[in-house]
Amino acid sequence: MEPLVQAPVRPRSLLIVDDEEVLLHLLARLFRSLYDVRTASSGQEGIELLRSGFSPQVIMADQRMPEMSGAEFLEQSRSLVPNAVRIILTGYTDVSDIIDSINRGNVYRFLTKPWEPSELKEAVRLCFEHYDVTMKNTELASALSQLEELNREKSELLHIVAHDLKNPMNSIRLVAEMILSQRDLSENERTRYMQMIFDTSDKALHLISNLLSVEAIERGVVLLHTEPSSVGVVLQELVAEHQTQAQEKCITVHQTVPDDVYVQADRQSLRQVLDNLLSNAIKYSPRGCNVWLETQTHHTNMQQLALTANSTVQWTCISVRDEGPGFTEDDKTRLFGKFARLSAQPTGGESSTGLGLSIVKRFVEAMGGHVWCESEHGQGATFTVALPTASLAE
Q: What is the pLDDT of residues 7-59, one digit of tens each?
A: 445 688 999 999 989 989 999 999 999 999 999 999 999 999 999 999 999 99
The dihedral built from the CA positions of residue 121, 126, 127 and 129, taken in this order, carries a sign that is positive
Residue 62 dihedral angles phi and psi, to the nearest 5°: -75, 140
Distance (Å, rounded) from C-alpha 77 to C-alpha 80? 5
Interacting residues of 34 by C-beta distance below 8 A, sequence separation 6+: 12, 121
Between 252 and 358, where is the model more confident? 252
The residue ranges of DSSP E strands in 323-393, in sequence order, are 370-375, 381-388
Q: Is cis: bond before 346, omega within 30 of 0?
A: no
List the Cα angle 154/158/160 in 5-degree steps: 115
> Domain 13-138 is in which class?
alpha beta
The residue ranges of DSSP E strands in the chain, in sequence order, are 13-17, 36-40, 58-62, 85-90, 109-112, 227-230, 252-255, 262-265, 290-298, 315-322, 370-375, 381-388
Distance (Å, rounded) from C-alpha 73 to C-alpha 81? 12
Length of the chain: 394
**pLDDT tens for each residue of 264-274:** 998 888 998 99
At residue 303, the pLDDT reads 47
The dihedral built from the CA positions of residue 82, 87, 89 and 93, taken in this order, carries a sign that is positive
Distance (Å, rounded) from C-alpha 283 to C-alpha 202? 15
Q: Which of 140-149, 217-226, 321-330, 355-364 has the lowest mean pLDDT?
A: 217-226
- Of 44, 37, 46, which is closest to residue 17 (Cα–Cα)? 46
- Of 22, 12, 34, which is closest to residue 62 (Cα–Cα)? 22
Q: What is the mean pLDDT of residues 175-198?
A: 85
- Of 216, 238, 207, 219, which is closest to residue 339 (Cα–Cα)? 207
Which helix H or strand E contains 359, and what residues bound it? helix 356-366
**pLDDT tens for each residue of 310-363:** 456 789 999 999 998 888 888 888 888 776 666 666 665 555 555 678 888 888
**3-state secondary structure labels for all residues of 84-100:** CEEEEEECCCCHHHHHH
The answer to whether the CB of 124 falls within 8 A of the CB of 87 is yes
Question: Mean of the per-residue pLDDT values for the chain?
Answer: 81
CATH of 223-394, picked from 3.30.360.10, 3.30.565.10, 1.10.3720.10, 1.20.1250.20, is 3.30.565.10
At residue 170, the pLDDT reads 82
At residue 100, the pLDDT reads 60
Between 340 and 296, where is the model more confident? 296
**pLDDT tens for each residue of 75-115:** 899 989 999 999 888 776 555 666 665 666 567 777 777 77
Q: What is the mean pLDDT of residues 136-146?
A: 87
One-letter amino acid for residue 53 of the chain: G
Domain 13-138 matches domain 223-394 at the CATH topology level:
no
Count Cβ atoms below 10 Å from residue 17 Cβ, excluding itself: 28
DSSP state of 163: I
Residue 14 dihedral angles phi and psi, to the nearest 5°: -130, 130
Show me where the domains of the chain are located: 13-138, 165-222, 223-394
